[in-house]
């Protein structure tokens, strides 16, 4: 008599093995993702720190003005103030020949104005827009005055004699510190900075016969500082007039048109610089 074959027991929980393997794989996957994200944050923090150090070394940002507070990842928090201390030391966008010519002008002026540079009343550098000649208020202006004082005329004459023979356009910018001003002559730093730039442009035109088509003047008040306004020394550096020798030449057609208008304009105008 044949024995009846016994049926095996069916295991209904085998799916747990596959499920456990799946959960293990998912756990490993998310662990790898988390580790990668932490590594990326560390790399970003290192890159950010390296860039800040490079900017400070190049003079793009003054360390005293970088008041931004960093969070745990090394980035500025949303409530951190935006740095306002910027110096134009970016690469000049000009041909090698023009850059070499601006460097020659800078060397010539450095020789003529060595004493004023040593006394820190004149500073020069080649920035993103051209050769910047900074005239500090301490050496050229009385406080709150728009016209240069008489003992600064020799320095201005030296600058004019070097720039008169070059073909480049000039932009003159007035700047102040952040201390408000309100006098009978000027209601704000905007007016003072603009008046200083305009008077210096007229100085070049009237005293040294620069073509007006080469010149432009503008005032920036306290909004383009080169140093922190938190110190007296920084405020002194910010009170300045910048003469920027631009790597740009006015087209001859424009010169001809404006030169034809110049005699009539000069006949009707009165000098404002004495």
Strand partners, 175: 240
- Spatial separation of the C-alpha atoms in residues 215 and 228, rounded to whole Å: 29
At residue 41 the predicted structure's pLDDT band, cuts being 50, 70 and 90, is low
Q: What CA–CA distance (Å, rounded) separates 13 from 4? A: 27
Q: Residue 26 pLDDT > 70, yes or no? A: yes
Predicted pLDDT of residue 19: 78
β-strands 170-175, 215-219 pairing: parallel
Range with lowest mean pLDDT among 54-68, 70-84, 164-178, 200-214: 70-84
d(CA 144, CA 119): 21
Q: Which two tokens stand for residue 115?
A: 């004493």
pLDDT given at position 10: 60
User: Across residues 75-91, what is the average pLDDT?
Assistant: 43
Flag the least confident range among 38-42, 61-65, 193-197.
61-65
Backbone angles phi, psi at 70, to 5 degrees: -90, 145
Measured distance CA(33)–CA(149) in Å, rounded: 68
* Helix/strand/coil for 137: helix
Q: What is the pLDDT of residues 243-263, one digit of tens each?
A: 999 998 877 655 444 444 444
Tell me the backbone φ, ψ of residue 182, rounded to 5 degrees. -155, 100
């Amino acid at each position: 008599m044949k024995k009846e074959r016994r049926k095996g027991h069916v295991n209904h929980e085998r799916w747990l093995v596959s499920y456990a393997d799946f959960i293990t794989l998912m756990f490993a996957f998310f662990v790898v993702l988390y580790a990668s994200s932490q590594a990326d944050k560390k790399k970003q923090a290192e890159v950010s720190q390296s860039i800040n150090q490079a900017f400070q070394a190049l003079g793009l940002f003054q360390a005293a003005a970088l008041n931004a507070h960093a969070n745990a990842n090394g980035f500025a928090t949303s409530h951190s103030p935006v740095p306002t201390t910027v110096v134009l030391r970016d690469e000049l966008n000009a041909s090698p020949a023009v850059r070499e010519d601006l460097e020659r002008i800078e060397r010539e002026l450095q020789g003529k104005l060595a004493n004023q540079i040593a006394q820190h009343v004149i500073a020069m550098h080649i920035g993103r827009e051209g050769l910047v000649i900074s005239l500090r208020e301490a050496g050229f202006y009385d406080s709150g005055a728009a016209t240069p004082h008489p003992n600064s005329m020799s320095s201005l004459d030296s600058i004019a004699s070097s720039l008169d023979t070059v073909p480049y356009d000039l932009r003159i910018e007035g700047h102040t510190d952040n201390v408000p001003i309100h006098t009978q002559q000027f209601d704000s730093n905007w007016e003072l900075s603009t008046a200083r730039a305009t008077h210096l442009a007229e100085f070049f035109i009237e005293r040294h016969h620069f073509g007006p088509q080469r010149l432009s003047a503008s005032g920036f008040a306290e909004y383009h500082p080169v140093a922190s306004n938190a110190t007296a020394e920084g405020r002194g550096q910010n009170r300045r007039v910048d003469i920027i020798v631009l790597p740009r030449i006015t087209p001859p057609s424009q010169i001809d048109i404006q030169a034809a208008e110049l005699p009539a304009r000069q006949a009707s105008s009165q000098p404002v610089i004495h």
